[in-house]
Structure 1
Amino acid sequence: MSTTNKLTFINEKRGIEKEIVTNEDKPILILAEQENINLPYLCRTGDCNSCICKLISGSIIHTTQTTLQDQDIKEGYFLACTGFATSDCVIKTHQEKEFARYKKGI
């Protein structure tokens, strides 16, 4: 039996603030697409960081991905193409530039 999760996508710079309720066990990228929330992506396999988001609250799990290290995940970063919500979540979208700054220590 599926659990219902509320996902709130936010990005002030891009004017995104949209909430969806889902009981589907699909990657966050696909759930967003189904609701016309346009997230960036390239590979859809967890091998790049184009779809990187930041978890503000809630919890997600990843399927196989090669981009993020454990510390990145602890900081809240996740890939929308391989991330699955396991609770209600608040998700900051379009975090590729912020992730690059984080990795550089800026």
Structure 2
Amino acid sequence: MTSEVTDTATVYIGLTARTADLPRRDLMLVWDERFGWYVAIEPRGDDRPPVICHLRDRIAPPPAAVAQFVTDVLGGHRRGRLSPVPAQLDRATLAAHMTEIRS
């Protein structure tokens, strides 16, 4: 897992599991402060990663909700397009929230 804070906070987690409909493509779980959590196909070269599913409604849901989301996506139970999540946390609150989750 990597994380980085620049002009946009992001997190990347490479997934070892694959979906039944994409058995030869690596997947990734990504979070950013604009879109929240989503599962996408690892890009090949410079292509944009195709999003498989987006966890909507909350920018920073509890870890258990994210884990269930990934389980659901890998099981083929969710599909969706990437769309921005309404911002619910300012930068300082978001940083404090993320620190709590890591503890």
With normalisation by structure 2, the TM-score equals 0.29
Q: Bigger radius of gyration, 1 or 2? A: 2
Q: Which has the higher contact order (CA 8 A, sep 6+)?
A: 1
Please state which structure has a larger fraction of its residues in strand: 1
